[in-house]
Amino acid sequence: MKKIAILGNGVTAVTAIREIRRLDEEVPIDVFSDEKHAYYPRPKLINYIRGDVDEKQVIQYDTDWYENKGVNLHLSEAVHDIIPASRSVLTQKETYIGYDRILMAVGSHPFVPPIHGTEKKNVHVLRTLDDASDIKEAVKGTGREIIIGGGILGIELAAAINKDGGEPIVISNIGTLLPDQLDQGASNILMTRLQKIGISVLMGFSCNQIQGHEVATGVVSDKGDKVKGDLVIIATGIRANTKIAKDAGLEIGPGRAILVDKHLQTSERGIYAAGDCIEWEGICWGIIPVALETAKIAAKNIVNEGSAVYEGTTPSNTLQVAGIDLTSVGLFNPRSTEYESIVMADSEEGTYYKAVTKDHVVVGGIALGNKKVAFKLRKLIRDKINITDQRRTIFDV
């Protein structure tokens, strides 16, 4: 094999680099990033906004890491096009030709819903280190921070801003916080706990306008309700980066991400994709465990064609919001009667545990407020233990 190009420099790219180097110490690798910073893990942006680390400490691998691995890192060099026939990569600076394999690790970008006024000053999104620096700077000068979106990112951001001395309010158009991780019962308990530590939460508020002339001064709902604030952060999900794949004629799935097969190869032979930008069997994930697994599988196939198969990832989310441990794993909110749920909630303590079973075997669950319960749930799922004898004690740890 002669040379490999990796597009993007997030966790998918660095994981693929490690795996490729484990299998092949020699093959030349070029990595292209449109960002100016070397590798940093995105969850660390929350620690940065919270004030736990400075900008330098966010960077996990500096340029030496790439040099030591014999990788050519092209920072601030966005790829504009790829030409599948010649396996060429075109950037604003140069045309690089003749790659044997290309890995698309281009990730995703924040999805901004159609809200009037998102172009105003003091309206932000959070994806990159530069976004985080802008938010950090803006929080210093503001009174109340409005966060649109009650998903993981919205809640984590609110907790970080709260810790950094801000006064955040999370607004969501639906009635459940973290809808991808929690059911209604767990969401209610989380909401109470957040309010106790100074994070306001407003549910059922569908924002359709950002107020203010040039600078944001608040938001307005579709019913005309208003919330005042000096900073608006939009955290309403992500979309895969697909432009260069589309332009190159690669197939895009119904979930608007780059279609890959079981080897993580795109519709074009020799061009692979992994991480946030892919759609596999109709699923687009957008989480780190998937980025890690798909990067390793793609890297194996890049070095030895057809050597590894991706079989999916059991989604598991663990987060810590202002000291609250929260894990949801597997199927936690079933809609079908073939599943049974065992729930234990304590609103005084602020804990909520749920185990979802099928044929007396745990297939998913939620643990809010206790890491040990989360650990136990994971073990029960992994070992496929029949829990008939432990129904009353299932959450004992």
Ligand X SMILES: Cc1cc2nc3c(=O)[nH]c(=O)nc-3n(C[C@H](O)[C@H](O)[C@H](O)COP(=O)(O)OP(=O)(O)OC[C@H]3O[C@@H](n4cnc5c(N)ncnc54)[C@H](O)[C@@H]3O)c2cc1C
Beta carbons of 349 and 366 less than 8 angstroms apart: no
Element containing residue 243 per DSSP (H, E): helix 243-247
Shortest distance (Å) from residue 17 CB to ligand X: 11
Shortest distance (Å) from residue 51 CB to ligand X: 15
Q: Which stretch binds ligand X (CB under 6 A): 17-25, 30-38, 199-207, 349-357?
A: 30-38
Q: Is residue 102 a contact residue for ligand X (CB under 6 A)?
A: no
Q: Which of 291, 308, 368, 381 binds ligand X (CB under 6 A)?
A: 291
Beta carbons of 148 and 174 less than 8 angstroms apart: no
Taking each helix axis from N to C end, the angle separating 152-163 and 184-196, rounded to the nearest 10 degrees, works out to 10
Shortest distance (Å) from residue 154 CB to ligand X: 10
Beta carbons of 16 and 299 less than 8 angstroms apart: yes
Site for ligand X in 222-251 (CB under 6 A): 241, 244
Residue 213, CA distances (Å) to 64, 120, 122, 169, 210 in order: 46, 8, 11, 22, 10
Size of the site for ligand X (CB under 6 A): 33
Rg (CA), the chain: 22
Beta carbons of 91 and 32 less than 8 angstroms apart: yes
The 113-152 site mask, x for binding ligand X (CB under 6 A), equals -------------xx-------------------------
Which residues have a Cβ under 8 Å from the Cβ of 337 and sit 6 or more positions away? none
SS3 386: strand
Site for ligand X in 335-394 (CB under 6 A): none
Shortest distance (Å) from residue 144 CB to ligand X: 21
Residue 64 to residue 390: CA distance in whole angstroms: 53
Element containing residue 58 per DSSP (H, E): helix 55-58
Shortest distance (Å) from residue 342 CB to ligand X: 26
Q: Which is nearer to ligand X, 126 or 169 (CB)?
A: 126
Shortest distance (Å) from residue 391 CB to ligand X: 31
The 148-187 site mask, x for binding ligand X (CB under 6 A), equals -----x----------------------------------
Residue 11, CA distances (Å) to 2, 50, 205, 229 in order: 24, 22, 34, 34
The 40-59 site mask, x for binding ligand X (CB under 6 A), equals --xx-xx-------------
Q: Is residue 276 a contact residue for ligand X (CB under 6 A)?
A: yes
Q: Which of 4, 186, 288, 302 binds ligand X (CB under 6 A)?
A: 288
Residue 44 to residue 55: CA distance in whole angstroms: 10
Q: Is residue 297 a contact residue for ligand X (CB under 6 A)?
A: no
Q: Which stretch binds ligand X (CB under 6 A): 26-34, 221-229, 255-263, 385-393?
A: 26-34
Q: Which is nearer to ligand X, 106 or 231 (CB)?
A: 106
Beta carbons of 4 and 29 less than 8 angstroms apart: yes
Q: Which of 253, 286, 364, 369 binds ligand X (CB under 6 A)?
A: 286
Residue 256 to residue 168: CA distance in whole angstroms: 32
In 43-124, at which residue ranges do the beta strands (DSSP E only) sit? Answer: 71-74, 79-83, 88-91, 95-96, 101-104, 108-110, 123-124
Give the number of other Cβ atoms within 10 Å of residue 224's Cβ: 8
Q: Which of 295, 270, 300, 275 has its CA nearest to residue 285?
A: 275
Q: Which stretch binds ligand X (CB under 6 A): 35-43, 162-170, 328-336, 349-357?
A: 35-43
Q: Which of 117, 151, 154, 275 binds ligand X (CB under 6 A)?
A: 275
Q: Is residue 35 a contact residue for ligand X (CB under 6 A)?
A: yes
For ligand X, the nearest residue by Cβ is 107
Q: Is residue 327 a contact residue for ligand X (CB under 6 A)?
A: no
Q: Is residue 284 a contact residue for ligand X (CB under 6 A)?
A: no
Task: Return residues touching ligand X (CB under 6 A).
Answer: 7-13, 32-35, 42-43, 45-46, 78-79, 105-108, 126-127, 153, 241, 244, 275-276, 286-288, 291, 319
